[in-house]
Structure 1
Amino acid sequence: MTASLFDWLNWFCWGLFGLVWILGAFYNSYQAPQVAKKRFRYDWLILAGLAWYLDSRYAPHYLHLFRFSLPWHLPWLAWLGTILLLVSTVFTLWSRWTLGKMWATNAQVKAEHRLVTGGPYRITRHPIYTGILGMILGSAFSLGEAFAVIFVLVLIFFFNRMRLEEKLMVETFGDEYLAYRKRVPKLIPGLKPR
């Protein structure tokens, strides 16, 4: 597989992710139930993070601010990264699809909100975040570029969002969510739930 094919697959996965997110946001803004409670108002952080990622990956070399190459680029690691990117993209989109009209760009409870525990939500309580982190790591390995700084910042951002979302879910669903939280791990499938 050539470097250009790795690039193309990265463009495809991240482009598909972006398209689904944008179309989903527009669709849900008109079709989803009204918001009953809202917790997170910093959507601009998501946009800033996306702009940072795009700058680090796709801006011309003389313009980029945060692009670092790994000291090695092994073909088997590029393949592994590509597989991780593809699987994580499918997992992320499946997670988004499973939420349907309950999905939002920020932590909120909608009128007639229900707790989703099926599909990828049987594997992890925050499968969208799991998938996005897998996509970032997959891109880093497939392209031979160190997204460590971006990964750490996104992870910190996600842990803050997970804390807010979980608090909102406990307030909304009470014992039902607490029981779900005891059964299903927070972020990494297979780990002991906390």
Structure 2
Amino acid sequence: MTFDVFSALILTICLLCFFMLNLLNLLLHSRSRAARKYLKDRKHKPPKHLIMVLAAFGTIVYWLEVLLYPFLVFTDLFSMIKVNPLQIDLPYSQFLRWLGLGLLVFGFFLFSWSVLTREKHAVSWEMPENHVLVTWGPYGLVRHPSYLSYFIMFFGIFFLWLNFLAAIPLIAIPGYISIVEDEERMLVERFRDDYLRYQESVGKFIPKLKKKKN
């Protein structure tokens, strides 16, 4: 089995698990009518500016590339795409492709873990009145594991393809960082001291080293 076929199989399994998990989460934890009314009345709105457009565009391109990769491999078209001016020829390219596959698998795992942990308590401008601050599981390691998983997967698809087009999803990262800044202001307003303490003890995207108690 070639690396292309192996990576396409692994990616297909990850995609199936990803979509099944999100569908199950959507069916089990849909919001009530009362919550929807509350969401509509909230003063917090998603930010709307160019950087958000880049985030959306980069994410859409990422999903197109992730879905396209297995199709191209299984139809024997991927080998044809490898020979084009947009392909990047780097030293240790095979190692980088293995690294990319590993990053994608880890990114899918981290995202799935965060979905299972937070259940219906996803942080957004749509928080219902009974929203709970989730600080366990992956949220005990970093404050935004879902966004971190996307960053990891963006780099993963780039290393797997080693193509300039596969670098497009990276432009979404500044947009997601902007979203995080807005979300954190909203969370501080909502949970006050609880969230401030959470910020002090848990890193945004990188785990904080625990200080040893004397």
Give, in whole Å, the separation in 2 of the partners of 1:48 and 1:26. 27
Q: What amino acid does structure 2 have at the position aligned with 1:150?
A: P
Match of 1:39 among 42, 45, 55: 45
Give, in whole Å, the separation in 2 of the partners of 1:33 and 1:100. 18
Residue 107 of structure 1 contacts residue 164 of structure 1 at CA under 8 Å; is this kept in 2? no
Q: 1:68 to 1:191 in 2, by over 3 A?
A: farther
User: Could you say what secondary structure the match of 2:142 adopts?
Assistant: coil
Residue 61 of structure 2 contacts residue 168 of structure 2 at CA under 8 Å; is this kept in 1? no
> How far 1:130 moved relative to its partner?
0.7
Give, in whole Å, the separation in 2 of the partners of 1:91 and 1:135. 10
Q: TM-score, normalised by structure 2?
A: 0.71
- Are residues 1:122 and 2:123 paired? no
User: Could you say what secondary structure the match of 1:34 adopts?
Assistant: helix
Alignment of 1:143-158 (within 5 A): 143-146=161-164, 147-151=166-170, 153-158=171-176
Which of 1 and 2 has higher RCO (CA within 8 Å, sep 6+)? 2
- Are residues 1:188 and 2:192 paired? no
Q: Give the number of the structure whose alpha-carbon radius of gyration is greater.
A: 2
Alignment of 1:3-42 (within 5 A): 3-30=4-31, 34-35=35-36, 36=38, 37=42, 39-40=45-46
Match of 1:69 among 87, 102, 116: 87
Give, in whole Å, the separation in 2 of the partners of 1:179 and 1:89. 29
Superposed CA deviations along residues 32-84 of structure 1, whole A, max 9, x for unmatched, are 97154453277x967654432244452989xxxxx943223622222222222
Give, in whole Å, the separation in 2 of the partners of 1:125 and 1:97. 15
Give, in whole Å, the separation in 2 of the partners of 1:80 and 1:190. 24
Alignment of 1:133-152 (within 5 A): 133-146=151-164, 147-151=166-170
Q: 1:148 to 1:17 in 2, by over 3 A?
A: same
Superposed CA deviations along residues 105-155 of structure 1, whole A, max 9, x for unmatched, are x4332121111111101111100011111122122223333433311x221
User: Could you say what secondary structure the match of 1:116 adopts?
Assistant: coil
Q: Which moved more, 1:135-144 or 1:50-59?
A: 50-59
Alignment: residue pair count: 185
- Are residues 1:169 and 2:181 paired? no
Residue 31 of structure 1 contacts residue 101 of structure 1 at CA under 8 Å; is this kept in 2? no
Identity of aligned residues (%): 25
Q: TM-score, normalised by structure 1?
A: 0.77
Q: 1:22 to 1:114 in 2, by over 3 A?
A: same
Structure 1 unaligned residues grouped into runs of 5+: 62-66
| Structure 2 partner of 1:51 | 60
User: Could you say what secondary structure the match of 2:169 adopts?
Assistant: helix
Q: 1:80 to 1:52 in 2, by over 3 A?
A: closer
Q: Which moved more, 1:121-130 or 1:48-57?
A: 48-57
Q: 1:68 to 1:55 in 2, by over 3 A?
A: farther
Residue 47 of structure 2 contacts residue 179 of structure 2 at CA under 8 Å; is this kept in 1? no
Give, in whole Å, the separation in 1 of the partners of 2:187 and 2:93. 43
Q: 1:178 to 1:138 in 2, by over 3 A?
A: same
Q: Which moved more, 1:33-42 or 1:7-16?
A: 33-42
